[in-house]
Amino acid sequence: MKLKYTLLAAVGLSFFTSGAFAQTPVPQTQPLTPQQLEVAKEKAIASKDLVNQPNMTPQLLETMKQRAAQGDVVAQSLLGQVYQNGKYGVKKNYFTARDWYEKAAAQGNVASMINLGDMYQKGLGVPKSYSKAKELFEQAAAKGDAVAQYNLGVMYQDGRGVKKDGKKALEWYNKSAAQGYGDAYNNTGAIYEHGINVSSSKKAAEENYQKACENNSKQGCINYKRLHDKK
């Protein structure tokens, strides 16, 4: 999310937050009218959040399928999530999800790049491939997406499909954190707290944990409280 796509945390430390990719439970709300759906789509485009979409009727879902077939990138990405997670009465189908993600990603949709990357790293509907996942995350990161930047940090931190590289992990976390992504601040704090490829600094750790908490990272709040209470 968030949709959950999780890369495992590095070195087994619970201080770290695992990767997150685009999927969270869809809230149960009243069905949208076609006009409201258009507004929701515009908001989804602006926020890059195609997961937290209100519930819809079978008729609206059929409309989304038609628009996706006509090349509507938001509809394609949303349908990918619908089939990946089995939403709205649609049977879960990773292969169909992959197809829609590929179409949307080809049009530059970063959420689809991230979700498709998650499918590759887990082998869902595609051969398991960390290198392909990394390639997709890099494409989204090149567009400035904070989640993709964070996911690359986790890959380098864990050594998933790449050689472990704490320096590169920190570089990606910094890019993600600069955009206010809380979990990137949290993992940066953990790196400084434990001196992983950097000089250990409780001050830098606490500062990053605080920023993580301020940016909605639950693990960041836990870590900040833990360090702050030790004073």
**pLDDT, tens only, 26-71:** 223 334 455 555 555 555 544 444 344 555 567 777 878 888 999 9
Helix, strand, coil percent values for the chain (each to nearest 5): 60, 0, 40
Q: Does residue 44 form part of some domain? A: yes
Q: Does residue 136 form part of some domain? A: yes
Number of H helices, E strands in the chain: 11, 0
Residue type, 158: D
Can you give the CATH number for the domain in which 32 is found? Answer: 1.25.40.10
Q: What is the mean pLDDT of residues 183-192?
A: 92
- This model's pTM is above 0.85: no
Query: How many structural domains are present in the chain?
Result: 1
Average pLDDT of the chain is 79
CA–CA separation, 193 vs 223, rounded Å? 10
CA–CA separation, 54 vs 40, rounded Å? 8
Using alpha carbons, select from 46, 3, 17 the residue that is nearest to residue 173: 17
Q: Does residue 11 register a pLDDT over 80?
A: no
User: Range of 137's domain?
Assistant: 10-145
Q: Which band of pLDDT confidence, cut at 50, 70 and 90, is reported for residue 186?
A: very high
